[in-house]
């Protein structure tokens, strides 16, 4: 299978070589940035281009791994109808594709990618959606090359999944950031929290977050809660977050203030 990549960022840099390793042929890489295009093309030993009108027309699958806000623009510059095309976004619908694209879909891997850390796609869920049976099957097959967790979901479900992922990843990472900041204020080595942070995720995943919940709010331990709120007097923003979480946890577990 010949795949053309549109985009050469974090996701493409992990995804293209992984697919190639499992037998797909990366045919070409397109990116507006010559450096990115060239780097990924070298990794995949294939051609690259920075001009939309130079994108090869004989690919069997076009995978778009661009920023959400340039996907539609880039699609409109394509001068041919691709045999099968899919974007990799959590929040874009199928409507971004021109109507004449009869085999278009979504190929969304639910994970956070960084350029410098390696990725094992095997356990990463791929959420697939398509406007045709033929491309649905091609996209499922392609995802199946590298992942053991390929599912078909609707746009509405994918939007909800993306929203849930913002809570689970973006916001919890920000909590980690805020906690490290609290340590630095009192000259406490910030790596002291590492094991706790790792265990937090493991416990949530291997038991479940509802029963893994612990802490003063879960226990309804008002003396600790009041002490903490007082310690946050000089951090109104953190104090507000502390209150909101405490209320929400106490509410969930039937404790009341």
**Residue 45 interacting with its own copies (CB under 8 A):** no
Q: Would you say 143 and 107 are in contact if contact means Cβ atoms under 8 Å apart?
A: yes
Residue 50: both structure tokens together: 């920075």
Separation between Cα atoms, residue 70 and residue 49, nearest integer Å: 17
**Residue 257 interacting with its own copies (CB under 8 A):** no
Separation between Cα atoms, residue 159 and residue 119, nearest integer Å: 23
**Residue 91 interacting with its own copies (CB under 8 A):** yes
* Interface with its own copies: number of residues (CB under 8 A): 89
| SS percent in the chain: helix, strand, coil, step 5 | 55, 15, 30
Separation between Cα atoms, residue 245 and residue 249, nearest integer Å: 6
Smallest distance from the beta carbon of 103 to its own copies, in angstroms? 25
Separation between Cα atoms, residue 120 and residue 19, nearest integer Å: 12
**Residue 212 interacting with its own copies (CB under 8 A):** yes
**Residue 233 interacting with its own copies (CB under 8 A):** no
Smallest distance from the beta carbon of 196 to its own copies, in angstroms? 5
Separation between Cα atoms, residue 189 and residue 60, nearest integer Å: 52
- Applying CB under 8 A, the span of 34-42, 76-84, 116-124, 135-143 interacting with its own copies comes to 116-124
| Closer residue to its own copies in complex, CB, 178/257 | 178
**Residue 234 interacting with its own copies (CB under 8 A):** no
**Residue 73 interacting with its own copies (CB under 8 A):** no
- Applying CB under 8 A, the span of 11-19, 25-33, 48-56, 240-248 interacting with its own copies comes to 240-248
Smallest distance from the beta carbon of 69 to its own copies, in angstroms? 7
| Closer residue to its own copies in complex, CB, 76/194 | 194
* Sheet bearing 61-64, strands edge to edge: 47-49, 25-30, 2-6, 61-64, 85-87, 104-109, 126-130, 150-152
| Closer residue to its own copies in complex, CB, 33/173 | 173
């Amino acid at each position: 299978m010949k795949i053309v990549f549109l985009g050469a960022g974090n996701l493409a840099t992990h995804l293209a070589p992984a697919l190639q390793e499992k037998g797909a042929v990366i045919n070409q890489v397109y990116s507006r940035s010559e450096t990115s295009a060239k780097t990924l093309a070298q990794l995949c030993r294939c051609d690259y281009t920075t001009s939309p009108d130079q994108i090869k027309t004989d690919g069997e699958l076009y995978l778009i791994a661009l920023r959400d806000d340039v996907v539609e623009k880039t699609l409109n510059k394509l001068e041919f109808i691709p045999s099968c095309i899919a974007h990799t976004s959590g929040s874009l619908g199928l409507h971004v594709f021109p109507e004449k694209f009869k085999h278009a879909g979504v190929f969304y891997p639910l994970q956070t990618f960084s350029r410098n850390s390696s990725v094992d796609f095997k356990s990463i869920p791929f959420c697939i959606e398509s406007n045709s049976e033929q491309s649905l099957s091609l996209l499922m097959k392609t995802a199946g090359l590298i992942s053991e967790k390929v599912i078909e979901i609707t746009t509405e479900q994918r939007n909800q999944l993306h929203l849930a992922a913002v809570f689970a990843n973006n916001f919890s990472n920000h909590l980690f950031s805020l906690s490290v900041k609290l340590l630095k204020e009192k000259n406490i080595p910030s790596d002291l929290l590492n094991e706790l942070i790792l265990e937090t995720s493991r416990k949530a995943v291997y038991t479940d977050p509802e029963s893994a919940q612990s802490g003063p709010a879960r226990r309804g331990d008002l003396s600790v809660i009041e002490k903490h709120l007082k310690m946050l007097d000089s951090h109104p923003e953190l104090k507000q977050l502390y209150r909101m979480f405490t209320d929400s946890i106490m509410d969930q577990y039937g404790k009341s203030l």
